[in-house]
Amino acid sequence: MKEKEPLKIDKDMIEELCEFSMLMPPEADDELVRDIEGLLNILSPLDSVSTAEAITECEEDTVMREDIALPYCEAESFLSSAPEHTDGYIRVPRTVE
Amino acid sequence: MEYTSMTLKELSQLIHKREISSLELTENYIKKIKEKDHELGAFITVSEESAIKTASWIDEDILSSSSEKLHPLVGIPVAIKDNLCTEGIKTTCASRLLQNFVPPYSAEAVMKLKKHGAVIIGKTNMDEFGMGSSCENSAFGITKNPLDTARVPGGSSGGSAAAVASGLVPYALGSDTGGSIRQPASYCGVVGMKPSYGRVSRYGLIAFASSLDTVGPITRDVISNAAVYDAIAGHDPKDSTSMRGCAETVVDKIENGSVKGMRIGIPFSLIESHTDKKIKNAVMSAINLFSGMGCKIIDIELPDPALTLAAYYAISSAEASSNLARYDGIRFGTRAEDCLSIDELYKKSRSIGFGDEVKRRILLGTFLLSREMSDRYYKKALFTREAIKQDFDKLFSACDVIITPVSPGLPYHIGKYKTEPSARYSEDIFTVYASLAGLPAISMPVCKDASTGLQIGIEIIGRFREELTVYQSAYALENEIKNSERRCENDI
Amino acid sequence: MIYKGYEAVIGLEVHCELSTASKIFCSCSTAYGGEANSHTCPVCTGMPGALPTLNRKVVEYAITAGLALNCTVNKSSGHDRKNYFYPDLPKGYQISQYDIPLLYDGHLNITDEDGQLLNIGIERIHIEEDAGKLIHRDGETLIDFNRAGVPLIEIVSRPCMHTAEEVKSYLRKLRTILVSTGVSDCKMNEGSMRADINVSVREVGDTSFTTRTEIKNLNSINHAGRAVEYEFKRQVDTILAGGEIVRETRRYDENSGKTFSMRSKEGQRDYRFFADPDLPRLTVSDELICSLAATLPELPDAKIARYCSEYSLSQDDAELIAESPAASEYYNTAVTLTQNKKTLTNLFIGEILPKLGENEPIVSPSHLAEITDLLSAGEINNGTAKLLISRCTAEDGMSPAEIVTRDNLGMIRDKEKIRELLDTAVKELPKAVSDYKNGKKAAIKSIIGRAMAISKGRADPVILNDEAEKIL
């Protein structure tokens, strides 16, 4: 694909992206194709950028945390936000490995 | 007394003099919210009970500390944008996916306000997950511009800006990723500050684009804004991107600052090509006022706007697509029912939970990060951002602040971009510069458009970490506007 | 390992849990066990608004491990997000290092079946967070996030192993080195060390790389060996039958000894790696690297070499002792307390080594040295030495010499006394005597044994043997 050609999106690509994003494919495919192409149009100026050299900034030392274990809260507090839980575990439908 | 049209600073003085109690003030605001908010839709949640309880406790504390100087925020109600976690108060991000989510923790910025005695009166409406600039992308209704309810208040912090502008609350917290504090502040005629990136902790701010998100105050006037900024700025070890070292307090240095000799950069050609006449006139009137105060006006070139916009949308969508992966209905949030497989649970919960704009950005972001595409757009966007930062470094060797419009035009009508959502993105053109470069920028009203009654604002951008300079310039301008006899002439 | 003219090309990716007190990006405890979801917080469960903060000890431990494996440290490395959806991954992405790892270009040495030294290259070592645990039940899956966020190092070897034995040696050596540094306890059966194995095959003499499969999550060294053997043969048989090797993930089933395909989709998942914007670059200073290098303990290879040269141990004995830090520590102390190092080594390997790490009480190194000296001086025999070891262990405070005196354990050397013992034994075992006289020479053993028993194990075996032959 030549860099300068505007990118075309089709329904298959939308479906694949939905799969990667864990979204259901939309009913109105055409509208979404048009919307995403509209967004890609906004990105098209990036085609003219050449990234010969990466620019690195001067960096401060990384701030790190000391290795001390601190209890945060009881399991119940975490589970109270969960839609479904049982015996102290979060529950979901059977997951295939 | 009509408290609800007072500034935070004025209310603070009343509290300090013990002329009004926190409870009385809080009840006043709650009453007004109940009267007016159904027209505006600024609030998603009004936390009346907890606000009254807090106000009562604060009054007890005030009573027992009779001679002590009180913090400027003590006892004063605040509204919090609904993407900042508030312990015990529903935090929805304006999304169906979080419609019943009650966080067991508060954002750091919220904790700091609470520590200084603020009374959280409610959570404000916004564009879902911060994605949008009109407050039309909320799962819980549209917020209207208090100056003209047929128009948008701007976004994504539209609820916070509308609440402050209409006197429903003296100040509010918002968040700004590409202009989400500055643009609604400008549209509603109030003051909104986006601090330098890393200045205010992002802990507890529900992430949209991690390298761009900031938290900042929205107020009626500059001095009040600075007081809130002082309360929330500073290093937080829970946020690894938080700026190191103590934040210099600004509020006590603003009034004595002078702008004489300050070099102000103005991108004249960009303004010429990208704004309508009314906005141009408003910017010119601000420039004239600064000139009159002894400032030097310098014509500058900003980096290419289309490229800047492209870099912003590439980076923000890519980061958002990853940041929103945790919203799956498994550990919290709304889970779709009757799902027979884990895949179904993911897809249904997210598809029902997210609105269209969020889905668009997620899909775009996923696309940009994919193996085939990441070199083409995302990596180039990162490179572009570094180049923009360097451009601003150069500009700031010749200027002390840079002034731009906030938006190309006046607040638009509700529903304008309904059929063509991507046409809206170019409205962000002026605000994305400071976002990408991580610079502090304030938006403040300059004059009123006589024919519509709408306010027009300008943006003042400062060097990285120089919030004080930004506030000093804004304060000087605000005073000059008040004192000046001149009016903007904005004929239809 | 050659099969039908093919050889295997094997690379390993080993994940080790680091023994820090808290998780890599939050302060939750890493302690094993504990009620489900009791070691959690908003950060490690991916709650809205939560942000990661890097644990300093993780970086230090990772660098220590890397230095012990002869790696170079990248003074500036990054954290990258690996994006995918799975219920044990709370944020929908794992924070790892993709582009630039913390360490690279290391190696370790193993000896192959012929005793030849083999250098196995290590491509990179990076830090990352572990995921939660899933428990599958009827129709549902339960999630426990206690393990989510536990710090891991991933050690990626170069694909330069060719046999199951090499794989097992590599894993054993890796474990020994890491355990000696204290950064991980590497208990495969507890999950603190897991191996993924990449296997491909090629005709002997070919130097190209072909399509590989990945066998995931092996939790025992023996299983790793068997899995490799099975997969090697499976691939060769597939090719020879005209089939194609597909790039895929497989799991090893220990009951059948076979590997099975895990994913139906071919090809690699796209993890959409990008630099994590919540974490700044990871920079480490020369000072830190130097100070960690200075605190490295004596590593296994150096230990083995020293045992062989200083104490004249055999390579096998030296490797046996060097494999466990507890063993080396004990041995290092005991061996300096006696001149009779060979005798001490034998006693140590025979009697002490099996008990170490079993939570059983053991005799102190100084007492062991004393017992060695008593044995070497001929004051006790081998059997008594063993008895003395167990009595000393049980009785705190008394020295071996004191116990020998108190319990009358001294070796009987006096020929008169030995003859008396034999006389008694002969009287008790007339059949053995007659058997011996009738030609069954082996029958003398039961007489010697009975005499020894009567002496309560104290008779000098050499003298006993001599006298027994004289008497009969």
Confidence of residue B491 (pLDDT cuts 50, 70, 90): very low
- The per-type count for chain A, helices as H runs and strands as E runs, is 3, 2
What does the block give as tokens for B263? Answer: 């070099």
Task: Test B107 with C274 for CB contact under 8 angstroms.
Answer: no
Catalytic, B224? Answer no
What does the block give as tokens for C232? Answer: 């090697």
What does the block give as tokens for C132? Answer: 């939660």
- Structural domains of chain B in order of their starting residue, each with its CATH number: 3-254 (3.90.1300.10)
Burial class, A76, CB count within 10 angstroms (exposed 0-12 / middle 13-18 / buried 19+): exposed
B408 touches chain A (CB under 8 A): no
Residues B162 and B40 sit within 8 Å (Cβ to Cβ): yes
The answer to whether the peptide bond before residue B21 is cis (omega within 30 degrees of 0) is no
Non-local (6+) Cβ contacts of C207 within 8 A are none
Same domain, C217 and C121: yes
Task: Test C38 with A94 for CB contact under 8 angstroms.
Answer: no
**Can you tell me whether residue C212 is helix, strand or coil?**
coil
* pLDDT of the residue at C266: 46
CA distance C324 to chain A (A): 26
CA-to-CA distance for B438 and C8, rounded, in angstroms? 53
Same domain, C206 and C305: no
For chain C, give the percent of residues with pLDDT over 90: 60
Same domain, C349 and C274: no
Q: Residue C207 gets which letter from DSSP?
A: -
Chain A residues with CB-CB distance to B348 below 8 A: 24
Task: Test A45 with B304 for CB contact under 8 angstroms.
Answer: yes
Same domain, C396 and C439: no
Q: Tell me the per-residue pLDDT of B332-388, one tens digit each, with 9 for 90 and over.
A: 999 999 999 999 999 999 999 999 999 999 999 999 999 988 888 999 999 999 999
Chain B residues with CB-CB distance to C81 below 8 A: 322
Helix C461-471 × helix C444-454 angle, to 10°: 130
Q: What single string gives the DSSP state of each residue in A62-96?
A: PP-B---------HHHHHTT-SSEETTEEEEEPPP
* Contacts made by residues C338-345, CB under 8 angstroms, sequence distance 24+: C338/C369, C338/C370, C338/C372, C338/C373, C338/C376, C339/C373, C340/C372, C340/C373, C340/C375, C340/C376, C341/C311, C341/C312, C342/C311, C342/C312, C343/C372, C343/C375, C343/C376, C344/C368, C344/C369, C344/C372, C345/C311, C345/C313, C345/C317, C345/C321
Show which residues on chain A lie within 8 Å of chain C, measured between beta carbons: 20, 22, 59-75, 78-79, 81, 86-95, 97
CA-to-CA distance for B266 and B399, rounded, in angstroms? 9
Residues 18-37 of C with CB under 8 A from A: 20-22, 26-31, 35-37
pLDDT at residue B118 is higher than 70: yes
For chain C, give the percent of residues with pLDDT over 70: 98
Task: Test C270 with A20 for CB contact under 8 angstroms.
Answer: yes
CA angle A16, A20, A21 (to 5 degrees): 115
Residues 278-307 of B with CB under 8 A from A: 304, 306-307
* pLDDT of the residue at A2: 43
Chain A residues with CB-CB distance to B386 below 8 A: 55, 57
* pLDDT of the residue at B251: 93
Locate the chain C residue with the closest alpha carbon to B347: C85
pLDDT at residue C292 is higher than 50: yes
Q: What single string gives the DSSP state of each residue in C72-127?
A: EE-SEE--EEEE---TT-TTSEEEE--SS-SEEEEEEEEE-TTS-EEEEEEEEEEE
Chain C residues with CB-CB distance to A71 below 8 A: 28-29, 39
Residues B74 and B58 sit within 8 Å (Cβ to Cβ): yes
Q: Which residue in C91, C272, C280 is closest to B366 by CB distance?
A: C272
Confidence of residue B40 (pLDDT cuts 50, 70, 90): very high
Query: Worst-scoring range by mean pLDDT, B50-59, B157-166, C146-155, C418-427?
Result: C418-427
Task: Test B359 with A41 for CB contact under 8 angstroms.
Answer: no
CA-to-CA distance for C434 and C420, rounded, in angstroms? 19
Interface probe with C: pick from B83, B97, B105, B201, most Cβ of C within 10 Å: B105
**Can you tell me whether residue C14 is helix, strand or coil?**
strand
Locate the chain B residue with the closest alpha carbon to A4: B376
A90 touches chain B (CB under 8 A): yes
Chain A residues with CB-CB distance to C56 below 8 A: 64-67
pLDDT at residue C312 is higher than 90: no
Same domain, C446 and C319: no
Q: Tell me the per-residue pLDDT of B252-285, one tens digit each, with 9 for 90 and over.
A: 999 988 899 999 999 999 999 999 999 999 999 9
pLDDT at residue C10 is higher than 60: yes
Confidence of residue C399 (pLDDT cuts 50, 70, 90): confident
- The whole-angstrom distance between residue C468's C-alpha and the CA centroid of its chain comes to 47
What does the block give as tokens for C468? Answer: 């027994």
When comparing pLDDT for C403 and B134, which is higher?
A: B134
Same domain, C180 and C197: yes
CA-to-CA distance for B287 and B295, rounded, in angstroms? 9
Residues 56-85 of B with CB under 8 A from C: 84-85
Same domain, C43 and C80: yes
Q: Which of C406, C431, C462 is the last residue of a domain?
A: C406
Task: Test C30 with A78 for CB contact under 8 angstroms.
Answer: no
Catalytic, B81? Answer yes
Q: Say how many CA atoms lie within 13 Å of C456 toward its Cβ.
A: 8
Chain A residues with CB-CB distance to C142 below 8 A: 86-87, 89-91
CA-to-CA distance for C205 and C330, rounded, in angstroms? 47
Catalytic-role residue among B156, B157, B435, B473: B156
CA-to-CA distance for B247 and C277, rounded, in angstroms? 22
CA-to-CA distance for C48 and B274, rounded, in angstroms? 37
Phi, psi (rounded to 5 degrees) for B53: -60, -50
**Can you tell me whether residue C360 is helix, strand or coil?**
coil
Residue C312 zone, left/alpha/beta (φ > 0; ψ -120 to 50; rest): left
Task: Test B103 with C48 for CB contact under 8 angstroms.
Answer: yes
Residues making up chain A, counted from first to last: 97
Non-local (6+) Cβ contacts of B189 within 8 A are B147, B165, B445, B448, B454, B455, B457
Same domain, C254 and C117: yes
Candidates C164, C218, C170; CA nearest to C195 is: C218
Chain B residues with CB-CB distance to C58 below 8 A: none
Q: What single string gives the DSSP state of each residue in C378-389?
A: TSS-HHHHHHHH
- In chain C, the number of structural domains is 3
pLDDT, average across residues B156-164: 98
When comparing pLDDT for A46 and C422, which is higher?
A: A46
**Can you tell me whether residue C221 is helix, strand or coil?**
helix
C249 touches chain A (CB under 8 A): no
Task: Test B244 with A81 for CB contact under 8 angstroms.
Answer: no
CB contacts < 8 A (A, B): 138
What does the block give as tokens for B156? Answer: 């994504």
> Which residue reads 């004393």 in tokens?
C370
When comparing pLDDT for B2 and B128, which is higher?
A: B128
Non-local (6+) Cβ contacts of C468 within 8 A are C422, C444, C447, C448, C451
Q: Which residue in C90, C145, C280 is closest to B326 by CB distance?
A: C90
Same domain, C283 and C352: no
* pLDDT of the residue at C282: 95
Candidates B289, B291, B297, B299; CA nearest to B268 is: B299
Q: Tell me the per-residue pLDDT of C239-254, one tens digit each, with 9 for 90 and over.
A: 999 999 988 999 999 9
B464 touches chain A (CB under 8 A): no
Name, of A3-7, B91-95, C263-267, C437-441, the range with top average pLDDT: B91-95
Candidates C298, C378, C394; CA nearest to C340 is: C378
Q: How far is CA A18 from CA A21, B314, B360, in A?
A: 5, 18, 10
B338 touches chain A (CB under 8 A): no
Same domain, C269 and C304: no
Residues B260 and B461 sit within 8 Å (Cβ to Cβ): no
Catalytic, B156? Answer yes
Residues C105 and C125 sit within 8 Å (Cβ to Cβ): no
Mean pLDDT of chain C: 91
Catalytic-role residue among B133, B180, B317, B473: B180
What does the block give as tokens for C384? Answer: 């008594």
Chain C residues with CB-CB distance to A62 below 8 A: 54, 280-283
Could you tell me which residues are beta bridge partners of residue C29? C22
* pLDDT of the residue at B421: 76
Q: Which residue in B307, B345, B367 is closest to A17 by CB distance?
A: B367
Residues spanned by the domain of C355: 298-406
A75 touches chain B (CB under 8 A): no
Mean pLDDT of chain B: 94
C261 touches chain A (CB under 8 A): no
* pLDDT of the residue at C179: 93
Same domain, C333 and C221: no
Query: Worst-scoring range by mean pLDDT, A22-36, B367-381, B440-454?
Result: A22-36
Confidence of residue A56 (pLDDT cuts 50, 70, 90): low
Residues making up chain B, counted from first to last: 492
Per 3-state DSSP, chain A is made up of helix, strand and coil in percentages (nearest 5) of: 35, 10, 55
Q: What residue type is B442 in one-letter code? A: I
pLDDT, average across residues B181-201: 98
Q: What residue type is C290 in one-letter code? A: C
Show which residues on chain C lie within 8 Å of chain B, measured between beta carbons: 42, 45-54, 81, 83, 85, 87, 90-93, 141, 143, 145, 270, 272-274, 277-280
* pLDDT of the residue at A6: 65
* pLDDT of the residue at B137: 95
CA distance A34 to chain B (A): 9
CB contacts < 8 A (B, C): 95
Q: Tell me the per-residue pLDDT of C32-59, one tens digit each, with 9 for 90 and over.
A: 888 999 999 999 999 999 999 999 999 9
Q: Which of C265, C289, C313 is the last residue of a domain?
A: C289
CA-to-CA distance for C84 and C96, rounded, in angstroms? 13
Subunit partners of chain C (3 or more CB pairs within 8 A): A, B
pLDDT at residue A90 is higher than 70: yes
Residues B190 and B445 sit within 8 Å (Cβ to Cβ): yes
Same domain, C109 and C17: yes
Residues 329-388 of B with CB under 8 A from C: 330-332, 342, 346, 366, 369-371, 374, 378
Interface probe with B: pick from C41, C93, C136, C272, most Cβ of B within 10 Å: C272
What does the block give as tokens for C98? Answer: 């993709």
Residues 245-304 of B with CB under 8 A from C: none
Q: Tell me the per-residue pLDDT of B418-427, one tens digit each, with 9 for 90 and over.
A: 887 777 888 8
Chain A residues with CB-CB distance to B307 below 8 A: 45-46, 48-49
Chain C residues with CB-CB distance to B205 below 8 A: 49
Phi, psi (rounded to 5 degrees) for B95: -120, 145
CA-to-CA distance for C127 and C52, rounded, in angstroms? 14
Task: Test C283 with A74 for CB contact under 8 angstroms.
Answer: no
When comparing pLDDT for B422 and C204, which is higher?
A: C204
Q: What residue type is C248 in one-letter code? A: E
Subunit partners of chain A (3 or more CB pairs within 8 A): B, C
Could you tell me which residues are beta bridge partners of residue C137? C140
